[in-house]
């Protein structure tokens, strides 16, 4: 069970990284905590987002406990960031399915780590 959750979380992080790289190339705009940035700032944000996601996925596969803590910080930030951006930009309370599943799996992984 631990391996399945770990691989699922790594897949979510890698998917997030690939999408961030795609957005950086195709449309260099981003909403960061309800603030729209574009151009070089958006590309840098997306590149840092992609690199951090890959690093956290690697750490998660190598060191489960440390990677899980990094994962909850990374996915939790993005979960809250998408929620805030959707509320302010679109006046809509909308959750990201990717980050919702990621946060739920990370909490599950923390519970598994605690009671191993």
Q: Is 29:36 a contact under the CB 8 Å cutoff?
A: yes
Nearest Cα residue to 54 out of 6, 10, 23, 89: 10
pLDDT score at 28: 75
Q: pTM score, two decimals?
A: 0.86
pLDDT score at 33: 66
Q: Is 22:46 a contact under the CB 8 Å cutoff?
A: no
Q: Quick one: tokens of 102?
A: 């990621």
pLDDT score at 31: 66
Q: Quick one: tokens of 22?
A: 């795609």
The residue assigned the tokens 């990201």 is 96
pLDDT tens-place string over residues 20-69: 888 888 877 766 666 677 778 878 888 898 999 999 999 998 988 888 89
Domain containing 12: what range? 2-114
pLDDT tens-place string over residues 53-110: 999 999 998 988 888 899 999 999 989 888 888 888 778 888 888 888 899 989 988 8
Q: Quick one: tokens of 83?
A: 């929620």
Rounded CA-CA distance 80/96 in Å is 9
Model confidence at 114, in pLDDT bands (50, 70, 90)? confident
Q: Quick one: tokens of 96?
A: 């990201």
**Domain total in the chain:** 1
Q: Is 69:62 a contact under the CB 8 Å cutoff?
A: no
């Amino acid at each position: 069970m631990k391996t399945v959750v770990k691989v699922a979380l790594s897949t979510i992080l890698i998917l997030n990284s690939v999408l961030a790289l795609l957005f950086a190339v195709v449309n260099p705009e981003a909403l960061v905590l309800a603030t729209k940035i574009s151009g070089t700032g958006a590309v840098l944000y997306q590149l840092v987002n992609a690199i951090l996601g890959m690093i956290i996925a690697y750490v998660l596969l190598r060191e489960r406990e440390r990677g899980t803590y990094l994962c909850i910080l990374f996915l939790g930030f993005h979960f809250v960031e998408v929620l805030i951006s959707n509320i302010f930009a679109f006046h809509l309370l909308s959750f990201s399915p990717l980050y919702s599943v990621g946060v739920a799996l990370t909490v599950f992984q923390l519970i598994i780590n605690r009671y191993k």
